[in-house]
Amino acid sequence: MLPGLIDCHTHPVFAKPRLIDFEKRIAGASYEEIAEAGGGIRSSQAGVREASRNMLADKVSFAFRAMLRHGTTTVEAKSGYGLSLEAEVKSLEAIREAAKYWPSTVKPTLLAAHVVPQEYKDRPDDYVRLICEEIIPLVAKRKLAEYVDVFCERGAFTVEQAERIFTAARQHGLDTRAHVCQFTPSRLSGLLAHQAASLDHMDCVADGDLRSLASSDTVAVLLPGANYFLGHKEFPDARRLIEAGIAVALATDYNPGTSPTVSMPIVISLACTHMNMTPAEAIAASTINAACALRVQTQKGSIEPGKDADLAVFDVADYREIAYWFAWNRCAEMVVGGELQGFSKD
């Protein structure tokens, strides 16, 4: 029995899988080349803008139920494929609706700054202004999200733009997190200065940032499902971060472009086989450290008196088997808030 797993980074609000991108990558195109040619995040935008809130909520519910069957009892869920005030609000409403019908805990995040939408292509700062001056205030007022996330990357947003968005988020009482150093390196000091709850991906962190990251309360969330699904040979260097004293968490990054999995046990397995984390480290990274990444460690992430009784029971004789039986779901029972959940094991 483990504490319920915590998936601290997911993008569940999308309408369709991205099979064209998938086949283009198989034929040799890179994620960035596909995005530049109009695929990628922008190609999920039309589906979300056209979909009704209820249709999106059904998709989110379907993913949440599957996560629970794989041992996840707390999930962070981002918007980020609507890319307009209306469609980002609708995405967060879909998360809220799905959360009503899921017994476990959902932590919603506004990711309007996922990519600059086509209509703002030549004036990205106007889109940043829309996020800061309209989307964040409305989302905060309606309590639709607890965090604001930004994708800091070539072709998405700069660290300077992220800092403007973080400033607005904090003015409205929202915590911050960022996608950073996934494909190209960025310096982290600006983001750390805003006390981001987590910095996620972290495939290429500069040596000069290790010390300040280690001494901060910011957790590095590693997402090996994305490296696996993009066919990358390289994975985030977990050992380097752990040895520098940085708190490392793991998550699925469930999304239609780079990581269409709901399985934390697969992520735990990848962390062991491709990132040289021990099974014990990978489990800690998926429970207590992931709780810290969501700042819920006083309630979640370990089995202790006073914390929520969220538990995952695995059909194994040794905890290391959770990492060992890859792509074989051994989660047998779930307990959420002290209540046994009925689900058929598939």
- Which partner from the list Fe ion, ligand NIG, none does 151 bind, CB cut-off 5 to 8 Å by kind? ligand NIG
Convert 169-202 into a string of H (helix), E (strand) and C (coil): HHHCCCEEEEEECCCCCCCCHHHHCCCCCEEEEC
Residues 6+ apart with CB under 8 A from 221: 8, 9, 177, 198, 199, 200, 201, 202, 248, 249, 250, 251, 290, 293
- Which partner from the list ligand NIG, Fe ion, none does 226 bind, CB cut-off 5 to 8 Å by kind? ligand NIG
For residue 147, report the phi and psi dihedrals to the nearest 5 degrees: -130, 160
Q: Which is nearer to ligand NIG, 176 or 255 (CB)?
A: 255
Question: From the CB of 14, what's the least distance to ligand NIG, in Å?
Answer: 7
* Residue 256 touching ligand NIG (CB under 6 A): yes
CA gap 219, 235 in Å, rounded: 18
Question: From the CB of 136, what's the least distance to ligand NIG, in Å?
Answer: 19
Exposure string of 203-236, with b = 16+ CB inside 10 Å and e = fewer, is: bebeeebbeebeebebbbbbbbbbbbbeebeebb
| Of residues 54, 101, 81, the one with CA closest to residue 336 | 101
User: Letter for the amino acid at 262?
Assistant: V
User: Looking at 62-70, 92-100, 254-262, 311-319, which segment touches ligand NIG (CB under 6 A)?
Assistant: 254-262
For residue 215, report the phi and psi dihedrals to the nearest 5 degrees: -90, 0
* Residue 257 touching ligand NIG (CB under 6 A): yes
Question: From the CB of 275, what's the least distance to ligand NIG, in Å?
Answer: 16
* Residue 149 touching ligand NIG (CB under 6 A): no
Residues 6+ apart with CB under 8 A from 183: 31, 32, 153, 154, 203, 204
- Which partner from the list Fe ion, ligand NIG, none does 227 bind, CB cut-off 5 to 8 Å by kind? none
Binding mask 21-60 toward ligand NIG (x if CB under 6 A, else -) reads -------------------xx--x----------------
Question: From the CB of 169, what's the least distance to ligand NIG, in Å?
Answer: 18
| Of residues 181, 299, 298, 102, the one with CA closest to residue 198 | 181
Q: Which is nearer to ligand NIG, 147 or 151 (CB)?
A: 151
* Residue 10 touching ligand NIG (CB under 6 A): no
Q: Which is nearer to ligand NIG, 43 or 287 (CB)?
A: 43
Binding mask 231-270 toward Fe ion (x if CB under 5 A, else -) reads ----------------------x-----------------
- Which partner from the list Fe ion, ligand NIG, none does 257 bind, CB cut-off 5 to 8 Å by kind? ligand NIG
In the chain, the largest separation of any two C-alpha atoms, in whole Å, equals 58
Residues 177-216 close enough to bind ligand NIG by CB under 6 A: 179, 182
Binding site for ligand NIG (CB under 6 A): 40-41, 44, 151, 179, 182, 226, 253, 255-258
